[in-house]
Amino acid sequence: MIPPRTLPRVLFVLFVAVTALHLAVLLLGAQPWDRPTQALLMPVLAAFLLSAVPAPRGRLTGLVLVALGFSWLGDTAPEFAPGNSGFLVMVGFFLVAQVFYIAAFWPLRAESVLYRRRMLLLPYLAAVAALVVLCAPGAGSLLVPVLVYGLLLGAMAVLSTGVHPWAAAGGALFLISDGLIALRAFAPGFDPPLGGFWVMLTYTAAQALLVLGLLARLRGRTAGIAMLTPTRGRPPGEPTR
């Protein structure tokens, strides 16, 4: 039996291993193994977060766990969607995931670039605007949901800057990952080599960094992976609002 203090590290290593396996499957084109390996990613990451933050976990951790759950649905449900609705199903579940991430990070907005170093808002605004301009001509009837999702994704990335630098990096990578998906789907002629690999590399790194940023926030600004072991009582750093 794995000791409780060791379990978070074991689960994080397992997440890295599953991620590496999934990326290798994409590189090798070893279908259909891409589906089951992708389906394992978010449950293992959520299990890592659960093991690293003991009960009572607080609002911030709880909302991030829900966001990971909807991300998992976004990863898996499109395969079972009828007809050509898979893309819209994926966007729908990830839209809900972004709403929960925004709700989780909103109490920390005063520490984000919304209030501090506002010039740093410009890259986020430029990225979202560029995606809309590039994707709008090819989005057709999906323009409105794609636009709404882009705005929520940008808001999540901005608010993640108030959590921890690791979370800020995760939010930026999430914006890049979903930007690649949108460009591949709607921008004429945009088809980079190994597109699926780059999407999943940035996506898995984004989710991991958001979780690690949350944990670093709870443990204090100097926390690292080596410190991701359970503590007793209410996690320090949980916002009260």
Residue 22 has pLDDT above 80, yes or no: yes
167-179 pLDDT, tens digit each: 999 999 999 999 9
Concatenated DSSP letters for 56-73?
A: S-HHHHHHHHHHHHHHHH
Average pLDDT, the chain: 89
Extract the tokens encoding 59: 């609002």
83-126 pLDDT, tens digit each: 888 889 999 999 999 999 999 999 999 999 999 888 999 999 99
The identity of residue 137, as a single letter, is P
% of the chain beyond a pLDDT of 90: 69
Dist CA 32 CA 48 (whole Å)? 26
* Comparison of pLDDT for 183 and 230, the residue scoring more: 183
> In this predicted structure, what is the pLDDT of residue 2?
66
The alpha carbon torsion through 215, 220, 222, 226 (nearest 10 deg) reads -40
168-219 pLDDT, tens digit each: 999 999 999 999 999 999 998 888 999 999 999 999 999 999 999 999 999 8
The alpha carbon torsion through 61, 182, 88, 168 (nearest 10 deg) reads 10
